[in-house]
């Protein structure tokens, strides 16, 4: 699917963010918009709408795409929330006691209010 938003006075790369959810969108034209004058606008547009195959009628090369996160980070992000929350609570408890307040807030909320004060 193609979309042509040329010459629409788009001046920020973030204006393209809503297009990310259009999974069938593979071709986009943004030429004639002020945002194309921004440094690295092509690279940033590709990162903003990663499903694109062409941008301004030019095929997007793999080298133009941002690198995927390292395998270690992908594995950690893919873990269940219950497993991922436990280390975070321990980390925040040792880094200033904030973790204890969150636990207390779940149990009654009083300790959290005292810590915030």
Q: Give 34-52 pLDDT, tens digit per residue.
A: 999 999 999 999 999 999 9
Instruction: Residue 45: name the closest of 61, 34, 30, 63 by CA.
Output: 30
Predicted pLDDT of residue 3: 97
Band (pLDDT 50/70/90 cuts) for residue 110 is: very low
Average pLDDT over residues 103-115: 41
In angstroms, what is the C-alpha Rg of the chain?
22
- 7: pLDDT strictly greater than 80: yes
Q: Give 58-105 pLDDT, tens digit per residue.
A: 999 999 998 888 877 655 555 444 444 444 444 444 444 444 444 443
How far is 116 from 105, CA to CA, in rounded Å? 11
Predicted pLDDT of residue 93: 43
Higher pLDDT: 30 or 98? It is 30
Instruction: Residue 57: name the closest of 112, 116, 110, 4 by CA.
Output: 4
- 108: pLDDT strictly greater than 90: no
Predicted pLDDT of residue 74: 56
Tokens 């590709």, residue located = 46
Tell me the residue length of the chain: 117
How far is 50 from 48, CA to CA, in rounded Å? 6
3-state secondary structure of 46: helix
């Amino acid at each position: 699917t193609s979309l042509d938003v040329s010459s629409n006075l788009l001046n920020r790369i973030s204006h393209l963010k809503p297009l990310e959810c259009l999974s069938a969108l593979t071709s986009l034209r943004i030429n004639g918009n002020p945002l194309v004058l921004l440094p690295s606008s092509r690279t940033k547009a590709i990162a903003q709408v990663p499903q694109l195959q062409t941008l301004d009628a030019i095929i997007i090369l793999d080298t133009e795409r941002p690198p995927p996160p390292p395998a270690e980070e992908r594995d950690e992000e893919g873990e269940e929330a219950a497993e991922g929350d436990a280390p975070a609570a321990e980390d925040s408890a040792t880094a200033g006691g904030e973790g204890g307040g969150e636990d207390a807030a779940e149990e009654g909320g009083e300790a959290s209010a005292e810590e915030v004060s």
